[in-house]
Chain A
């Protein structure tokens, strides 16, 4: 999959209808990066729990274009990379949880696992000791033209991966519903929100 010629960064977003709560994405993430069990870079969660609308969806960092976590982080441990994705620096995070209160998707995690703090030289390494941890969109795999592990191993294609243009095409396919409402789309896709959402079913 080429991600170089489309606008905006490539992201993983859920296909709203296809998740069967198998947990393969969680296992793929932890196995690929040798993460501790406390790590929740991606997690299948119950939404509207206890209601008739209860449903299970995979949730992880969407690398929002208007990321509230970047806005509130006091130390700039969270920052936009040149490709537009959001990255956290293990060398700068102070574990204040401000990003956890600011993120509308509950993506930031603060695993207590006793793991070495990640350094900039090892950006996708595991973080622990109360520092913030999040999805890295499997950057090393992308360099080998591979999808992120979660999307690659999902048996039902419940995790879509691509740039806004590519996601727009996928979301326009029959049977694939848009995962975000207008508010969420504005946060995640920014100026690309209308283009992505407008072509959804």
Chain B
């Protein structure tokens, strides 16, 4: 009659879906912030290259939000009830409620910022008409992305998301909506900064979602260590993913992309350092976390060390460094550089998701506060 286990472990409460959700919203928040920084730089310098990064980063943010929250909803007992956020999420002292509203704000922001950069005849950061290069929106439209795809290319079909919109017959309508709703550049960037607050909130929430509550039952999720891990990894993976997309669809690796690749190296490297600090310092500061750290380095070493750290951080860093140096020295082909960016982004994304799941699997509840 007696149960052998007093507490279930966190993974039995939440499962892998919560881990995937936490990872994807972290990437979304980080991508938006990285994109907004590129957007501002593009505005100040009048650089289409930075603008392309911004556009792809907003799209990555949107993608994370399209995929992540539905995965969480599938974990809930009553997903439809949970979707009535203004009616159900009423406890503003709960980080899950805060996070829900932050995600809503970021969703609106990502959609608008992407819409305003990617669609419309007067979209900012568009490449000059007639330039003999790939368009920044993902197609080989040599006529530029400065106008409606159909008008710019005659009967040719453009690629990327504009091409998709064109093929379903919505490009004209979406372009019109973008042009009608787009504010002035300064106003757009001010709104972008406001949405950036939501993005930063989502990034923070991606850490606070774990182990929130006055009891703080999971020592492995100590916020002092987990918040930097989530912030650096969210920014790093979001940025490198946008970088890879820009490199693939624009096919113009160069100085601008090298700058962002270097930044991604710094962010992914900072993530690795934050993880190293966690496994080295956390058990000393919170002895209850010792079991969780041992699980990371023992039972789940393959996922944590192998996939999350080596494949998900160190290998991408090495690939990005090699691509930057190789391109600068002229020893790597354009294809090799783009391939390096894409591989780094794919591995970093897999590593980020694996890390979040591993943090769930390795976690143990602190001992029950009873005099056993």
Which A residues form the contact surface with B (CB < 8 A)? 16, 21-23, 26, 43-49, 53, 55-57, 59, 66, 68, 71-76, 92-98, 100-106, 110, 129-131, 177-181, 183-184, 187
Contact A56 B2 (CB under 8 A): yes
Contact A46 B2 (CB under 8 A): yes
Distance between Cα atoms of A54 and B221 in the complex (Å): 28
For the complex of A and B, 3 pairs with smallest distance between CB atoms: A95-B77, A130-B77, A102-B213
Distance between Cα atoms of A178 and B88 in the complex (Å): 39
Chain B residue with Cβ nearest A99 = B213
Interface string of B1-15 (1 = CB under 8 A from A): 111111110100110
Interface string of B80-114 (1 = CB under 8 A from A): 01100000111101111100100000000000000
Q: Of the 9-residue stretches B41-49, B236-244, B269-277, B364-372, which lies at the interface with chain A?
A: B364-372
Given A16-B371, A76-B90, A130-B77, also A44-B3 (CB < 8 A): yes
Chain B residue with Cβ nearest A180 = B370
Contact A47 B6 (CB under 8 A): yes
- The A-B contact count (CB < 8 A) is 139
Residues of A within 8 A of B2 (CB): 21, 44-46, 56
Interface of B is mostly: loop
Interface string of B342-372 (1 = CB under 8 A from A): 0000000000000000000000001011111
Chain B residue with Cβ nearest A178 = B371
Quote the shortest CB–CB distance from B277 to chain A (angstroms).
24
Contact B369 A96 (CB under 8 A): no
Residue B184 lies at the interface, judged by CB distance under 8 Å to chain A = no
Residues of A within 8 A of B368 (CB): 47, 104-106, 184
Residues of B within 8 A of A187 (CB): 214-215, 369
Chain B residue with Cβ nearest A56 = B2
Which B residues form the contact surface with A (CB < 8 A)? 1-8, 10, 13-14, 75-79, 81-82, 88-91, 93-97, 100, 211-215, 217-218, 366, 368-372
Chain B residue with Cβ nearest A51 = B372
Quote the shortest CB–CB distance from B164 to chain A (angstroms).
34
Residues of B within 8 A of A26 (CB): 1
Contact B370 A47 (CB under 8 A): yes
Residues of B within 8 A of A72 (CB): 94-96, 212-213
Distance between Cα atoms of A177 and B75 in the complex (Å): 41
Contact A59 B6 (CB under 8 A): yes
Contact A71 B5 (CB under 8 A): no
Quote the shortest CB–CB distance from A78 to chain B (angstroms).
9
Distance between Cα atoms of A149 and B5 in the complex (Å): 24
Distance between Cα atoms of A73 and B88 in the complex (Å): 11
Contact B3 A103 (CB under 8 A): no
Quote the shortest CB–CB distance from B109 to chain A (angstroms).
22
Chain A residue with Cβ nearest B78 = A94
Interface of A is mostly: loop
Chain A residue with Cβ nearest B221 = A101
Contact A183 B369 (CB under 8 A): yes
Q: A74-B90, A75-B89, A102-B217 are in contact. List 6 more A-B contacts (CB 8 A).
A: A71-B214, A72-B96, A74-B88, A74-B91, A96-B76, A101-B217
Contact A95 B372 (CB under 8 A): no
6 cross-chain CB contacts under 8 A: A74-B100, A75-B91, A94-B77, A95-B77, A177-B371, A179-B371
Quote the shortest CB–CB distance from B45 to chain A (angstroms).
43
Residues of A within 8 A of B217 (CB): 101-104
Q: Which single member of B5, B90, B213 contacts A101 (CB below 8 Å)?
A: B213
Chain A residue with Cβ nearest B363 = A101
Quote the shortest CB–CB distance from A76 to chain B (angstroms).
5
Quote the shortest CB–CB distance from A71 to chain B (angstroms).
6
Residues of A within 8 A of B4 (CB): 46, 49
Residues of A within 8 A of B75 (CB): 96
Contact A45 B3 (CB under 8 A): yes
Quote the shortest CB–CB distance from B144 to chain A (angstroms).
47
Residues of B within 8 A of A23 (CB): 1
Chain B residue with Cβ nearest A131 = B77
Quote the shortest CB–CB distance from B100 to chain A (angstroms).
7
Distance between Cα atoms of A96 and B75 in the complex (Å): 7
